[in-house]
Amino acid sequence: MKLSVYLPDEFGERLRSVKDDINVSEVCQAALATAVSAAELARLGNLRPRIIERLKRTRTPEELLVEQGLSNGRRWAADAATLADLRAVASSPATDATLGGAVDRVRAWHQTSASTSLGRPAGLMDAALGMIVAVGVAVQAQQPRYLEGFRQGAREVWESVRSELES
């Protein structure tokens, strides 16, 4: 959606002097998001948290895969990705199941992440559980909807740091 915003002349002049240092669209979107959230909260009052929780419980398996992928894509990008892999994943097309050629390194991260999320195995049962979780994560990581979310999460991180890395 395109939107015009009126600025008083004096403020417009101030903005012109720093517009190269500010992403005006991003700032306006953030300010509007805050204002819209406040208006929604005022309209719904204390019902909003209850509505959100109830709707979270109604997610489809596909939606859950996208969410898990999104979360893991952000974590991978922040904690494990190399610059080249992050660029490759973030710029890979939606139909690319290889994640821009980084899929093997992403899978290795998934396996390490799944096995260490349980902590250090204390015994045989914990080690077996760790293996089951790692296999489950590996299978999940091959699902197109999961990859969609993973790519989106990695892309969000890339876009947030890109300007500082490409200058």
pLDDT tens digit sequence for 3-20: 888 889 888 888 888 888
Based on the fold, state whether residues 96 and 166 are members of the same structural domain: yes
Please tell me whether residues 29 and 95 are part of one structural domain.
no
Q: Smallest Cα–Cα separation from 113: which of 71, 145, 155? A: 71
Reading the chain (167 residues) residue by residue, the pLDDT tens digits are: 888 888 898 888 888 888 888 888 888 888 988 888 888 778 877 888 888 889 988 989 889 889 888 999 999 999 999 999 999 999 999 888 888 999 888 888 877 776 665 554 455 555 554 544 444 555 566 688 888 999 999 999 999 999 998 87
In a shared domain, residues 102 and 154:
yes
For 128: left if phi > 0, alpha if psi spans -120 to 50, otherwise beta; the answer is alpha
Are 25 and 86 part of one and the same domain?
A: no
Same domain as 128, residue 82: yes
Domain with 162, as residue range(s), is 60-167
Q: Are residues 32 and 8 in the same domain?
A: yes
Q: Are residues 67 and 87 in the same domain?
A: yes
For residues 49 and 97, give the distance between their C-alpha atoms in angstroms, rounded to a whole number.
Answer: 36
Last residue within a domain, chosen from 40, 58, 76: 58
Q: What is the reported pTM?
A: 0.58
Number of domains into which the chain is organized: 2
